[in-house]
Amino acid sequence: MTTKEIIAAFEKGSRANRADKCRYGNLIKISSPGEVIMTGDLHGNEKNFAKLVKYADLGNNPNRHLILHEILHCSQNQSADQCHSYQLLAQAAQLKSEFPHQVHILMGNHAMAQVTNDEILKGGQPMVRALNYAISLTFNENRALVTQALDDFIMSFPIAARSENRIWMSHSLPSMRHVEYFKTSDIFEKRLILEDIKSNPALRALTWDRSHSEKCLDELGSMWEVDYFIGGHQPQAEGCCCNHQRMIILASDHPHGCFLPFNLQNNYQPDELFSLIRPLASIE
């Protein structure tokens, strides 16, 4: 993409994020009838993204929703010092602007780190520096304009989604020691500002925490009135796992990556929901 094209993609994506008919504050609420396709972290994997777009076939399925998150920062860096995953984020922005009420891109910790310019490592590589360097080399004197458009797009992301049949979707979940934040936080209602990305404890818990006990999931389920949780954040060599029969963790950024399509009209049992997980390799 040219400088003009990539800035336009991010700007259109930002507007579409804020105008999403399913958005209530920072929460996406998805009602039946229809389907949801939940993904794991993508981390720059353009091949798996293309497979998800093909499977979703959104133009022919107007009641189908595709939920994406953690698109930036390649799992396998494209060179020792460059990361061009901003290209995949621009593709996601274009898809969002084309299907503004069907594509939902959720906040993740890598996206937050990119906005704040706080370094984050993946596979031992400094990913923020690598992405910034790639943008600098590609766009030269226009790098600041591209970076600003990218940051604005990230700042427009909602932070979680829930379906009418009581399934919660977010990049991660708060651990037990941080559940208390959500009893008083307004993070789901307010418009995000940079200070939230830097230091809001509820937002950081929702995108950075790991290790979710059964008690933690029970409390969150009661608080948010949901039965099951689907997220990513925690690497999964086989593409997925199930935690305490209530939390499914997906990875979509490697050859064994997975996704989870489910119907909004159904009330699922844990084994039924887990059985719906599909490998991305199954998509031709």
Select from 222, 151, 159, 163 the least CA-distant residue to 188: 159
Query: Burial level of 273, CB count in 10 A (0-12/13-18/19+)?
Result: buried
**DSSP character at residue 251:** B
The reported pLDDT for the residue numbered 173 is 98
**CA separation for the pair 42, 73 (Å, rounded):** 9
Question: Domain 3-282 classified CATH 3.60.21.10?
Answer: yes
Q: Return the higher-pLDDT residue of 43 and 78.
A: 43
For residue 78, what pLDDT band results from cuts at 50, 70 and 90? low
**CA separation for the pair 133, 255 (Å, rounded):** 27
The reported pLDDT for the residue numbered 76 is 76
For residue 77, what pLDDT band results from cuts at 50, 70 and 90? low
Angle at 88 between CA 87 and CA 89, to 5 degrees: 90
The reported pLDDT for the residue numbered 124 is 84
The reported pLDDT for the residue numbered 80 is 67
Query: pLDDT tens digits, residue range 213-222?
Result: 999 999 999 9
Kindly state the tokens that stand for 284.
């031709």
Kindly state the tokens that stand for 281.
């390799």
Q: Is residue 81 over pLDDT 90?
A: no
For residue 168, what pLDDT band results from cuts at 50, 70 and 90? very high
Select from 72, 76, 102, 60 the least CA-distant residue to 10: 72
The reported pLDDT for the residue numbered 56 is 98
Query: pLDDT tens digits, residue range 4-45?
Result: 999 999 999 999 999 999 999 999 999 999 999 999 999 999
Q: Is residue 79 over pLDDT 80?
A: no
Domain segments of the chain as ranges: 3-282
pTM of the model: 0.97
Provide, rounded to the nearest whole percent, the portion of the chain with pLDDT above 90. Answer: 94
C-beta of residue 158 within 8 angstroms of C-beta of residue 17: yes
- Mean pLDDT to the nearest integer, 57-67: 98
Query: pLDDT tens digits, residue range 101-152?
Result: 999 999 999 999 999 999 999 888 899 999 999 999 999 999 999 999 999 9
- Mean pLDDT to the nearest integer, 81-94: 96
The reported pLDDT for the residue numbered 75 is 82
E strand or H helix that includes residue 219: helix 214-224
Q: How many CB atoms lie within 10 A of CB 20?
A: 19
Length of the chain: 284
Question: Mean pLDDT of all residues in the chain?
Answer: 96
Kindly state the tokens that stand for 161.
């989604």
Relative to beta strand 64-69, strand 35-39 is parallel
Select from 30, 22, 21, 26 the least CA-distant residue to 163: 30
C-beta of residue 58 within 8 angstroms of C-beta of residue 65: no
To the nearest 10°, report the CA torsion of 197, 201, 205, 207: -10
